[in-house]
Amino acid sequence: MAFLQALRNFFVPSATRRIMVVEPAAATEYHVAALTPKHLNEVLYLNFRCFEDGENYTKHTFSYLLSQPNALCFQIATAANEMAGFLCVLVGQEGIAHITTIGVAPEHRRRGLAERMLGELDRSLTERGITSIVLEVRVGNTAAQSLYRACGFMVTQQISEYYNDGEDGYLMVKALSGQMAPGDISRHCEAA
Ligand SMILES: CC(C)(COP(=O)(O)OP(=O)(O)OC[C@H]1O[C@@H](n2cnc3c(N)ncnc32)[C@H](O)[C@@H]1OP(=O)(O)O)[C@@H](O)C(=O)NCCC(=O)NCCS
């Protein structure tokens, strides 16, 4: 029986698996740290857990991101140094930072970890003289949109069928230190 159950679970569609109840992690301290190539396997595994819809990055993509000189990658880790979240950004030649991926482990969510990583990102980019951040988010991903709005991002454009499954995306932008208006940033992105 156990074997049959295991086999059935193996073929359960991801949409069914997603309604599994998540047991919140025990309370712990967290710290933000660099995400480097030595964390490749750990971040890859966490990314699979965060993006259950299959739209997650491959090992090759993370390997590329973690080795790019124009990339900024952070993790947020527990006191026991277990990775609880990650964030990767690419800075383009035009000086605009592009959030390529962000995720927090389900059992560590709603503890302000994504907000903390985005705050650290703001500080790092401002130090480097970067004035604006852009990202794309699924129109159906209301959790992430709430996060971005809470962190000062605004929707400037809806991008038709941006994702592989045909879902539209929103382009969201944020001006750091108020030096560039959101309209200017999205016009710049369209031109790029
Ligand atoms: C989106 C995600 C990164 C948020 O991480 P998190 O650490 O739970 O977010 P935070 O605790 O920092 O949330 C900060 C604020 O964002 C908003 N927010 C975050 N998650 C939310 C949710 N599920 N529903 C509504 N608002 C939410 C709230 O305003 C929250 O503040 P509050 O908890 O005081 O109300 C996380 O849910 C995740 O990894 N999702 C799967 C991957 C993903 O969708 N990434 C984004 C791709 S564009």
Helix axes 59-67, 40-50, angle to 10 degrees: 130
* Amino acid (one-letter) located at 55: E
- The backbone region for 6, taken as left when phi is positive above 0, alpha when psi lies in -120 to 50, beta otherwise, is alpha
Tell me the domains of the chain and their CATH numbers: 29-191 (3.40.630.30)
Residue 115: count other Cβ atoms within 10 Å of its Cβ. 13
Look at ligand 1, atom 32, and give the residue with the nearest C-alpha.
110
The reply to whether the predicted model has a pTM over 0.75 is yes
Residue listed under structure tokens 């993790």? 75
Cβ(22) – ligand 1 distance below 6 Å: no
Digits of tens for pLDDT over the chain (192 positions)?
Answer: 343 334 333 333 444 445 678 999 999 999 999 999 999 999 999 999 999 877 789 999 999 999 999 999 999 999 999 999 999 999 998 889 999 999 999 999 999 999 999 999 999 999 999 999 999 999 999 999 999 999 999 999 999 999 989 999 999 999 997 555 555 555 555 544
Q: Do 181 and 154 contact (CB within 8 A), yes or no?
A: no
Cβ(144) – ligand 1 distance below 6 Å: yes
